[in-house]
Amino acid sequence: MAVYFDNAATTIPSEGAVAAFNKGLLLYGNPSSPHSAGAEARRALEAARKSLALQVGCKSEELYFTASGTEANNSAVYGLWELRKRYGKRVLLTDSEHPSVKEPCRRLEKDGAELVYVPTPGGKLDMDFIKEALKTPTALICVMLANNETGAVYDIKAVRDAITKSGSRALFHCDAVQGFMKAEGYKQLLRNADTAAFSAHKIHGVRGIGALMLRSNLHPPAFILGGGQEKGIRSGTENLAGAMAFAAAAEEYGKAQTEKVKALREHIENRLRALPDVDLNLPEKHLSGILSISLRGIKSETALNCLSAEGIYISASSACSSGQAENSVLAAYGLDKSARESALRIGISPMNTVEEADALIDALVRARARYGRI
């Protein structure tokens, strides 16, 4: 039986999400069609939107369904840039942003953007750097809610306060893909953002569905053009089954789930602390579900292959960054080369058990005994 601890990459769909998805598949009408089958599908879509907006903490009319968190991030970056580039060419983003934010920002350089990377040593925003940078006219600032590799939770409110105090006209986008439903006080934190991105498969929904929160006072140009669905913000026939599964997964992910993850995280940490040459890369404020460690003495790839052979699955880094020669996020965090080369990411979900956690730790011990030091 597989032991799956790669939940920061993707999660197993919950029973509720699968049931909602299957129900949505039977609603075969196009939500944009005027007949009764279409109207039935539209009602189900809007019910899912309303439910999810409640979990996000925004108005239902401020939530737009997308095909992924990546699409939502791209849409926000390009859209907000178009709205504010006349006021300043500077774009601030953390040095540890996800590629779905970092790469669109890099493309903006062709349109004259000046990218400024905010340091995040130890998983903390350099707020003095942000305050100084905002003295120059700025179009956009991008700060994720929680980092996908270290689990660091960033101070979103402090960013909003800095923007307000500076008098900047910069708009603020937050990649909330990892932090949604998991970061403590996430609803209150997200109120500080102008836009935010979400993804269903990080909280036991299904792949292929995400969402963009866009404040109602903002009207950016559409990123995907076509039939004008989602009030023209995101064209394309809506993924009704995916949206229903997303809403169902969010409804299920409550306090009981977060407490279970927290307790399991504590158990894993306690066992790891008893092992030699294991560094816990712990930001001061972090998600319980993401634990970054460095298993000094074994390269990440070797450890992963050893665990995979036993049916135990974790990762060395973000699945979206696995092809990179250098882990820029861990470098930004401040890990030395040895720690980066031996880094592993444990992604914990409410579906995991103490028995699975013990199997993981025991397998790490066997890998160390078998392969020795680098």
Residue 245 contacts residue 20 (beta carbons within 8 Å): yes
pTM for this one?
0.95
- The tens-digit pLDDT sequence of the chain (374 residues) is 699 999 999 999 999 999 999 999 999 999 999 999 999 999 999 999 999 999 999 999 999 999 999 999 999 999 999 999 999 999 999 999 999 999 999 999 999 999 999 999 999 999 999 999 999 999 999 999 999 999 999 999 999 999 999 999 999 999 999 999 999 999 999 999 999 999 999 999 999 999 999 999 999 999 999 999 999 999 999 999 999 999 999 999 999 999 999 999 999 999 999 999 899 999 999 999 999 999 988 999 999 999 999 999 999 965 555 555 568 899 999 999 999 999 999 999 999 999 999 999 999 999 988 876 54
Distance CA 188, CA 144 (A): 15
Residue 292, strand partner residues = 281, 345
Residues whose CB is less than 8 angstroms from the CB of residue 158 and which lie 6 or more positions away in sequence, other chains included:
125, 127
320 is an active site residue: yes
The pLDDT value given to residue 25: 97
What pLDDT does 374 receive?
A: 40
Strand order in the sheet with 114-118: 63-66, 210-214, 195-199, 171-175, 138-142, 90-94, 114-118
Q: Which domains does the chain have, with CATH numbers?
A: 3-12+254-371 (3.90.1150.10), 15-252 (3.40.640.10)
- The confidence score (pLDDT) of residue 353 equals 98
Q: Which residue out of 58, 105, 174, 320 is catalytically annotated?
A: 320
The Cα–Cα gap between 299 and 292 comes to: 14
Torsion-angle region of 14 (φ positive above 0: left; ψ -120 to 50: alpha; else: beta): beta
C-alpha dihedral (177, 179, 182, 187), degrees to nearest 10: -100
* Strand partners for 153: 146
| pLDDT value for 69 | 98
